[in-house]
Amino acid sequence: DAKTTQPPSMDCAEGRAANLPCNHSTISGNEYVYWYRQIHSQGPQYIIHGLKNNETNEMASLIITEDRKSSTLILPHATLRDTAVYYCIVRGGGTSYGKLTFGQGTILTVHP
C-alpha cells in the first residue's frame, strides 16, 4: 500500500470548515483513499473513502485531485467534538482487504 504524508497538527475555529490535506504521490490505480479518526484514545472511527471521484457523506467530504496524488478531507462545520487524530490511509484491494496501515495522522484541534 502507498505511503501517506500528513501535517502533524492543525487548528480550526469552531463552526468553520476544517480542511485536512494528505499526500499519497505513489498511489496506484486500484488503491483507495480512506480517512479514519481517533478521538481521545478510543478505537478509530471510519469517516469516508474514495477511489478517484469526490465523495460526500453525513460526516465529511473527500476531494481527490485528478492525478490522485493528494486528497483533502473537509469537515464543513467543525465542532469541539471533532477534535481528534485524523488518519489518511491508502489501501489496495484483494488481499489487502481487512488490513489498514496507519501513519501518525494529523492532530486536529477545534477551538471555541
Partner 1 sequence: NAGVTQTPKFQVLKTGQSMTLQCAQDMNHEYMSWYRQDPGMGLRLIHYSVGAGITDQGEVPNGYNVSRSTTEDFPLRLLSAAPSQTSVYFCASSSKRGAKSDEQFFGPGTRLTVL
103 lines the binding site for partner 1 (CB under 8 A): yes
62 sits in which H/E element: strand 61-64
Q: Which of 1, 23, 49, 69 binds partner 1 (CB under 8 A)?
A: 49
In this structure, how many other beta carbons lie within 10 angstroms of the beta carbon of residue 27?
A: 23
59 lines the binding site for partner 1 (CB under 8 A): no
Which residues, including other chains, have CB under 8 Å from residue 3's CB and lie 6 or more apart? 24, 26, 90, 103
Q: Which of 22, 24, 82, 105 binds partner 1 (CB under 8 A)?
A: 105
101 lines the binding site for partner 1 (CB under 8 A): yes
CA Rg value for the chain? 13
| Comparison of 46 and 76: residue with beta carbon closer to partner 1 | 46
Q: How big is the site for partner 1, counted in residues (CB under 8 A)?
A: 21
| Nearest one of 84, 83, 97, 99 to 14, comparing CA atoms | 83
Binding to partner 1 in span 4-33, by CB under 8 A: 32
| Nearest one of 83, 59, 60, 82 to 71, comparing CA atoms | 60
91 lines the binding site for partner 1 (CB under 8 A): yes
- Enumerate binding residues for partner 1 (CB under 8 A): 32, 34, 36, 41-46, 49, 87, 91, 97-105
